Amino acid sequence: MDFSTYGVEEIKNTSGDTEELRFKIEGIMGIGKKGKTIIVVFISIIALIFSCFIIYLLPVFLFLILIIINNKTIFVTKESFLVKNSIPIFPKQEISILNLERMEVKRIESHKTNKNETTISANFELYAIFKNKPAKKIFSSMNFALVDQLDKKIENFLNIKDTSNKDQLDRIKKTNYQNKLESEYKKNIQLKQEGGSAQETITNKKNLKVDKPSRSFPFTVSSNLVNLKITHFYSKSGGSGFIMLLAGSVFTAIGTYIPFSERDEPPFAIIFALIGFPILISGLSNLFNKRYINVSQSKISYHTKPISVSKEKEILKSHIKNIEVDYSGQRNNGIRSYNVFVITKDGKKHKLIKNVFNELGLKDLANEITHHMSL
């Protein structure tokens, strides 16, 4: 994060030591000049239209515009936080840092459902956490990287050592649901690891063993000196298999029943079947398919059953460059899913596992494959 965009100043004393930080945040929640201008123009146009009919709404629109164009400056000293607004009608906020323990960023989500599709929007709030009194909100923004860096810069200035900062950015980028899945997975794996410490990082471990798939980790994993066997249960990955099966069945039934029962019905009714049948197959796949992955010292082989037209594939170790986990480009109900790829030396990406919410679990699997093959 380049703080120069947001006008950060370090005020130094005669000895050259920083005695104050100033964070100048432009626009509502740190949106910035361009976004602020677009919103103000849009609201102004709406205000002009409505003022022709309902004149008393003008003060409401004016107040909204003032909120948007207001800029905040956060002053941080060794004694207090001071938040000032550029528009005088908005009050300033001063908070003593006496007994300040640390700073913390919280992800606040709102869910909106439209036509069976859920979208998630998030705001990120920076709090001052105290030892003997309630936490105080200092700032909020839709820019998670900005809030995270504010947290770290303030703690560095105040000489606060905060171990939670280590993975904070990765945590707030993910939805609350994903963090919950990863937390459940982490606890389950730690309990199964022989001699495992609760503080030890899971991805540094070898010999991952999972006997039963779950929502947080839709795999079984077993290994011996020769083979590492992984089974991916599609039905546990959170897909909408049942809905697709139901919709596909209805469309296919309509498309096949009408042409045979109503001879005078035009043949375009078959289009329902042409649309519905692939959806039906996709729903069945999501409900019943499993991907079987066998990793040996010399190759990776994988296939999908029972609904698949693809034959078993294999990739020789001599062709493999590395194993990667990456964002799939897809979201289910607003939640990101991830894939595991085998990257070969010719630059090609082979999709080994697809559409799983638990990024941490996939990284463990990729790590396990890498160790087993000694890549």
The reported pLDDT for the residue numbered 26 is 66
Do residues 102 and 160 make contact, with C-beta atoms less than 8 angstroms apart? yes
Q: State the pLDDT at residue 260.
A: 60
Strands (E), the chain: 8-12, 18-25, 72-76, 80-85, 93-96, 100-114, 117-130, 136-141, 219-223, 228-233, 290-295, 299-305, 313-316, 320-332, 335-344, 349-356
- Cα–Cα distance measured from residue 141 to residue 23, given in angstroms and rounded to the nearest whole number: 13
Q: Which CATH number fits domain 3-26+71-173: 3.40.1620, 2.40.50, 3.40.720, 2.30.29?
A: 2.30.29
The domain spans of the chain are 3-26+71-173, 182-238+287-373
Residue 265: its pLDDT value, please? 55
Tell if the pTM clears 0.75, that is, is over it: no
CB-CB contact of 331 with 322 (8 Å): no
pLDDT one digit per residue (tens) for the chain, 375 residues: 444 445 677 888 888 888 888 888 765 555 556 666 777 788 777 777 776 667 777 787 788 878 777 888 889 999 999 988 888 888 888 999 888 999 999 998 887 766 656 677 888 999 999 988 899 998 888 888 888 888 988 999 999 988 877 788 888 888 888 888 888 887 776 666 554 443 344 444 456 677 788 877 888 888 887 889 999 988 777 666 666 777 777 777 776 766 566 555 556 667 777 777 777 777 777 787 888 999 998 999 999 888 887 888 989 999 999 999 988 887 776 678 889 999 999 989 999 988 888 888 888 888 889 988 888
